[in-house]
Amino acid sequence: MADSLLVLNAGSSSIKFAVYRVGGSELSLKTKGQIENIGGQGRFHAGELSREIPAANHAEALAHLKGWLQEQDDLGDLLGVGHRVTHGGANFSKPVLIDDKVLTELRALNPLAPLHQPHNLSGIDAVRAANDLPSVACFDTAFHTTQPELVKRFALPERLYRQGVRRYGFHGLSYAYIAHYLARELPAVHGGKVLVAHLGNGASLCAMVNGRSLETSMGFSALDGLCMGTRCGRIDPGVLLYLMQSEGMDAQDLEDLLYRQSGLLGLSGVGSDMRQLLESPEPSADLAVNYFVHQLNREVGALAATMGGIDTLVFTGGIGENSRPVRARFAKQAKWLGITIDATANDNNASVISAPGSRVELRVIPTDEELMIAHQTLAILQDREPD
């Protein structure tokens, strides 16, 4: 019987998981699922199965997952667990086998990604406490470590750069998957100037040449760049000074405002979900969608300048893969780049949605971060260089 690998993506109140069968260096998906509402009445979903479970914390939720995995009779031996970890800081440019020293370093990065990192690490703690399987950390920042120093710097004093105040970039597992997919399936595209738009609840852009990250719209934190579901995106830092000085806001107030109350939610007052906004009759919902598209056009322009043009623009993430109106509105604004969308292909969610004469090819490629984590984890466990 084939062996298998478990992939975990632990968030504040949910854990997404995937199980892959391993055949040599190849992987095939066995099942995906998630545990929701950790900290309350937990719910476990896997394939057709959906049931309530006790899940007071990550450890209890993972104990349930472990029991369920043991009941599956065709998984063979579990070789290890790959974990999504948001921040690898300046030191982790590749996936890494987790030990106490690595965990200590990763915990020190908690303040840099307060919404994600502590929960990612809770998942790792729970797995390590419950069994002796090897755990591998796969980072959202690692893909961007190829960027030149000039791009990573802020115009701040040197000591702050040395201290780690620099642009890291995120969504790297999604970008690594797209690069991996292009290298395998579309090598000519992979070799060109590719702009990837990862548009989900979190959203960013990555300028890629030859499958390597040159620049991204996110920076030090997951707040910069595009407007997101509840995050503000690009903002004048003077606004933060004003809020502190004139409104008496402290760090906690600002974190709450910028991460949880802004973006599409803040602009619309209706919600953070793109589908909901597109269906809403409220003028503020339309304003939020227009703002999202305007910022997208603007950031695309910035990264097109970095690459000296764009050959291919890839849409991915929940909005990029599905939202025909957002892609159509963007294409209308991005005519200046020589972009012409094929309305029928866009409506059909085809893999190529640009018209034949378009100077930039527009593609839709569903991302698969879990598969990327599985590939990276397997490479580490097999002592190979990860993709």
Residues marked as catalytic:
140
Q: How far is it, in rounded angstroms, from Cα 136 to Cα 29?
A: 18
Q: How far is it, in rounded angstroms, from Cα 42 to Cα 293?
A: 36
Looking at the Cβ atoms of 102 and 326, the one nearer to ligand ADP is 326
Query: SS3 of 361, please?
Result: strand
Query: Is there a contact between 198 and 208 (Cβ–Cβ < 8 Å)?
Result: no
Beta bridge partners of 9: 16
Nearest to 96 by CA among 129, 148, 145, 32: 145
Minimum distance, C-beta of residue 261 to ligand ADP, in the bound complex (Å):
16
Instruction: Determine, following the binding rule CB under 6 A, whether residue 296 of this chain makes contact with ligand ADP.
Output: no
Q: Tell me which of 217, 295, 323, 354 binds ligand ADP, using CB under 6 A.
A: 323
Minimum distance, C-beta of residue 192 to ligand ADP, in the bound complex (Å):
25
Minimum distance, C-beta of residue 197 to ligand ADP, in the bound complex (Å):
12
Q: Tell me which of 322, 342, 345, 381 binds ligand ADP, using CB under 6 A.
A: 322
Instruction: Determine, following the binding rule CB under 6 A, whether residue 142 of this chain makes contact with ligand ADP.
Output: no
Minimum distance, C-beta of residue 198 to ligand ADP, in the bound complex (Å):
8
Minimum distance, C-beta of residue 45 to ligand ADP, in the bound complex (Å):
15
Query: Is there a contact between 149 and 114 (Cβ–Cβ < 8 Å)?
Result: no
DSSP 36-47: E-TTSEEEEEET
Looking at the Cβ atoms of 80 and 320, the one nearer to ligand ADP is 320
Instruction: Determine, following the binding rule CB under 6 A, whether residue 124 of this chain makes contact with ligand ADP.
Output: no
Stretch that binds ligand ADP, among 55-63, 125-133, 140-148, 314-322 (CB under 6 A): 314-322
Query: SS3 of 236, please?
Result: coil
Query: SS3 of 246, please?
Result: helix
Q: Tell me which of 80, 89, 200, 219 binds ligand ADP, using CB under 6 A.
A: 200
- 206: number of Cβ within 10 Å: 30
The helix/strand count (H/E) of the chain reads as 16, 13
Looking at the Cβ atoms of 297 and 367, the one nearer to ligand ADP is 367
Residues binding ligand ADP (CB under 6 A): 200-202, 229, 273-275, 317-319, 322-323
